[in-house]
Amino acid sequence: MKAIVLKNAHELVVEEAPEPQIGPDEALVKVAACGICGTDLHLYKHGSLSPNVRMGHESAGTIVEVGKQIEGFRIGDRVAILGRIPCGQCHWCRRGRHHICPTRLDVRGGFSEYVAAKEGMLARIPDNLTFKQAAVVEAMAVSLHGVRLAQIGKGDGVVVTGAGPIGLFAAALLRDIGVRKLVISEPSNRRRETASRWADRVVNPVEEDLAEIAREALDPCVDALVECSGQPRVLEDAFNIVGFAGRVLLLAACLENINVNPALLLVREIRFETSYGCDMEEFRHCIELVRSGRVDVDPIISRAVSQAELPEAFERLCGPNDDVKIVMDIP
């Protein structure tokens, strides 16, 4: 089979590899689609400590072989794969926080033609979902996990900063929940155009004052701000934008220190919530949201590329671009 392998930073190659040999508790999935996520891009930019990393984890496809211990799936089933397996026994797993299990097994190789997956990683997808739609469900579930943690709900006035995939999925979910009003901040023209499907007001932060516009649009206050840009200054400003008892949710990887006065959070009872990953229940719930038509993910998929085009797509994403979500599509 053909696999996408990271040799070094900025060195992604298509090479021949043996098909995975499945164990008794695994299924072999013929991959039909796999999304490029921020983690993939980080590995591409900076390299990995491990050599010859097979890339990709937001994958979907068809089961072509099952191990003898598999009970819930059979050959021919269409599935999406949640690329991690928790231990199920640790302190966090016993409390339902499987997604942050410190010994979880992260499974890659979704950009390959075939991938082996344990039964607990598989979610059946309905016939009215395309494989491309199913491949972006994990990113959507990451946004859902954060929105739930921050307890953002019906009637809230919300700001989303950054209209990449995570920010736009958050916006779509917030609309489904029934927030009162939604303001989205994004410098890219194309992404602002996409964001306008869900936002009451779209802001160009390069030319406009987000804090002023948000307070006016969301009067009497900004109840929550969902930070999806990863920019330190944007996160610092978030604590000044939300109102009393406001919530700031960090959904993007901010890799630098920030300056925040804790007294500001104290006297205004501002809550700072961080969110990482998702669990299988959230993953399956997002599949149902797409199946039912409550959330439309198609506008967030900016384009599909072939397996052979992936190296070029990764390099493009490292420079100035206005893509949202790129998905590998294998006919």
Quote the pLDDT of residue 319. 86
Q: Establish if 292 belongs to a structural domain.
A: no
pLDDT value at residue 115: 96
Q: What is the mean pLDDT of residues 5-24?
A: 94
- Rounded CA gap, 298 and 133, in Å? 7
Report pLDDT for 106: 78
282 in a structural domain: no
Active site residue 42: yes
Do 229 and 161 belong to one domain? yes
Range of the domain at 184: 143-274
DSSP string covering 150-182, please? TT--TT-EEEEE--SHHHHHHHHHHHHHT-SEE
Residues 236 and 265 occupy one common structural domain:
yes
Helical ranges in 87-208 per DSSP H: 131-135, 137-149, 165-177, 189-195
What CATH number is attached to the domain comprising 194? 3.40.50.720
Amino acid at position 140, single letter: M
Say if strands 325-329 and 301-305 run parallel, antiparallel, or are unpaired.
parallel
Report CA Rg, the chain.
20
pLDDT in tens, 190-243: 999 999 999 999 999 999 999 999 999 999 999 999 999 999 999 999 999 999
**Residues 152, 127 share a domain:** no
Q: Report the number of distinct structural domains present in the chain.
A: 2
Q: What is the pLDDT of residue 329?
A: 95
Q: Are residues 36 and 161 in the same domain?
A: no
- Residue pointed to by tokens 């097994």: 105
Nearby residues of 266 by Cβ (< 8 Å), 6 or more positions away: none
Catalytic residue, chosen from 10, 39, 62, 285, is 39
Do residue 46 and residue 167 come from a single domain?
A: no
Read off the tokens for 171.
């916006």
* Residue 204 belongs to some domain of the structure: yes
pLDDT at 331: 83
Return the CATH number at 309.
3.90.180.10
178 Ramachandran zone, left/alpha/beta (phi>0; psi -120 to 50): left
**Which residue's structure tokens are 């200054």?**
233
Q: How many helices, marked H, and strands, marked E, lie in the chain? A: 10, 18
Amino acid at 77: D
From the list 42, 46, 57, 145, the catalytic residue is 42
Residue 280 lies in a domain: no
Residue ranges with strand state E in 23-131? 26-35, 53-54, 58-66, 78-82, 84-85, 105-106, 114-118, 122-124
More confident residue, 185 or 84: 185
Copy the structure tokens of residue 307: 């397996």
Q: Do 129 and 147 fall within a single domain? A: no
287 within some domain: no
- Is 107's pLDDT higher than 90? no
Buried b (16+ CB within 10 A) or exposed e, 121-140: bbbebeeebbbbbbbbbbbb
Regarding whether 258 and 175 lie in a shared domain, the answer is yes
Residues 107 and 147 reside in one and the same domain: no
The burial class, CB within 10 Å (0-12 / 13-18 / 19+), for 207 is exposed
Write out pLDDT tens, residues 291-323: 999 999 999 999 999 999 999 999 999 988 889
- Is-catalytic flag, 57? no
Confirm whether 112 is domain-assigned.
Answer: yes
Angle between helices 310-318 and 38-46 (to 10 degrees): 80
Model confidence at 105, pLDDT cuts 50, 70, 90, reads confident
**Domain boundary residue among 236, 259, 274?**
274
- Spell out the residues 6+ positions from residue 127 whose beta carbon is closer than 8 angstroms to its own: 78
Q: Which residues contact 315 (CB under 8 A, 6 or more apart)?
A: 10
Q: Terminal CA-to-CA distance of the chain, rounded, Å?
A: 15
Residues 51 and 108 in one domain: yes
pLDDT at 83 over 90: no
Answer whether residue 288 is part of any domain: no
Please report, as a single letter, which amino acid is at residue 63: I
- For residue 284, tell me if it sits in a domain: no
**Residue 149 and residue 32 share a domain:** no
**pLDDT the model gives residue 200:** 98
Same-domain pairing of 178 and 256: yes
Tell me the pLDDT of the chain averaged across its residues. Answer: 95
pLDDT digits (tens, 9 = 90+) for 24-65: 999 999 999 999 998 899 899 988 878 889 999 999 999 999
Q: Are residues 99 and 181 in the same domain?
A: no
- pLDDT, tens digit, 9 for 90 and up, residues 129-182: 999 999 999 999 999 999 999 999 999 999 999 999 999 999 999 999 999 999
Helix 165-177, helix 137-149: angle, nearest 10? 60
Please name the helix (run of DSSP H) or strand (run of DSSP E) that holds residue 258, with its range, or none. Answer: none
pLDDT of 123 strictly over 80: yes
